[in-house]
Structure 1
């Protein structure tokens, strides 16, 4: 979440109005799109218009979830009792309720190059058919990139693995 704050100007009188850039808006509305990023400028304009500076509340940061957790939150949105739904599906109630309310993103799965045991530079890769083959290129781009689930599926848990960074994917 950005550390930068946003400001609008509110009247000091009983007649509530908000000042947005070059116009006065009688009531707070969704079409209030202008705001001030600089407090000093907002303060100066507020003083000229007998107003006060009000800090806008920033949007909460989205929660990062696994695919399985995201599926539960999506299911909760379709349920009449979302809290009960989440509670019945997971022990991470607080995290998932936070995601339900504030939004979420799904974490990217880490990927790994997996080395064939007892070899110098031989690495596994998957074929289009899902078969597991070995290749010995020096070029990392030709190595297979495996998720943790795929490593378990192919029975490669005991193999040496090397995490693939985003710039290598």
Structure 2
């Protein structure tokens, strides 16, 4: 996150001054606050500082529950003042991260998902087959949208023993 701020000129009607000195919806922002103040004085507006929104912290589902509970029960002040008590036994860097999650917002990390290719198994038209589950049954199927073929570690622990021994490939959101 950059420490440098940007400044723009806005009037009382909520319009921005653009680079051609016309009021409208587009703005011209620079890091030179003095210049923006001169322009605001000349064209009758005021200087507005743009502040970057801090990045949200990625937390585990368990950590999200802790932070959410603090917010729901309006314990934000207690959380900030007594964070070491609330998160007893956690590493200092985790405590710092959770404090940042409370103040800057957070997103919950998704469980890793895996695709299990079945080497040597192909359909009659040559398409590779993958471990698939439907209605509690495990089987082989080509990659198909709508089929349950991306599995978490916990799901794969319930797969047949032979399937648990197979190589797995992590699925990213780009693969969806």
TM-score (norm 2): 0.60
Looking at structure 2, the residues matched to 114 and 21 of structure 1 have their Cα atoms a distance apart, in angstroms, of: 59
After TM superposition, the structure 1 = structure 2 runs for residues 61-100 of structure 1, keeping only pairs within 5 Å, are 61-77=55-71, 78=73, 80=75, 81-82=78-79, 83-84=83-84, 86-88=86-88, 90-91=90-91, 92-100=94-102
CA RMSD of aligned residues (A): 3.9
Aligned mates of 1:164, 1:114 — CA distance in 2:
10
Report which stretch shifted further, 92-101 or 158-167.
Answer: 158-167
Question: What does 1:17-56 align with in structure 2 at a 5 Å threshold?
Answer: 20-22=10-12, 36-39=27-30, 42=36, 44-46=38-40, 48=42, 55-56=49-50
Structure-2 separation of matches of 1:2 and 1:149: 40
Cα deviation digits, residues 34-88 of structure 1 (max 9, x gap):
9954227835513527999563332211111121221111122226432256423
In structure 1, runs of 5+ residues without a counterpart are 10-19, 25-33
CA distance in 2, matches of 1:114, 1:132: 15
Query: Are 2:64 and 2:108, in contact at CA under 8 Å, matched by a contact in 1?
Result: yes
Looking at structure 2, the residues matched to 84 and 55 of structure 1 have their Cα atoms a distance apart, in angstroms, of 35
Q: Unaligned 5+ residue runs, structure 2?
A: 15-24, 122-127
Cα distance in structure 1, aligned partners of 2:67 and 2:172: 28
Structure 2: distance between partners of 1:8 and 1:86? 42
d(CA) in 2 for partners of 1:5, 1:37: 13
Return the structure number with greater strand share. 2
Q: What is the rounded CA distance, in whole Å, between the counterparts of 2:4 and 2:26 in structure 1?
A: 12
Deviates further, 90-99 or 151-160: 151-160
Q: 1:106 aligns with which of 86, 105, 108?
A: 108
Alignment length (residue pairs): 146
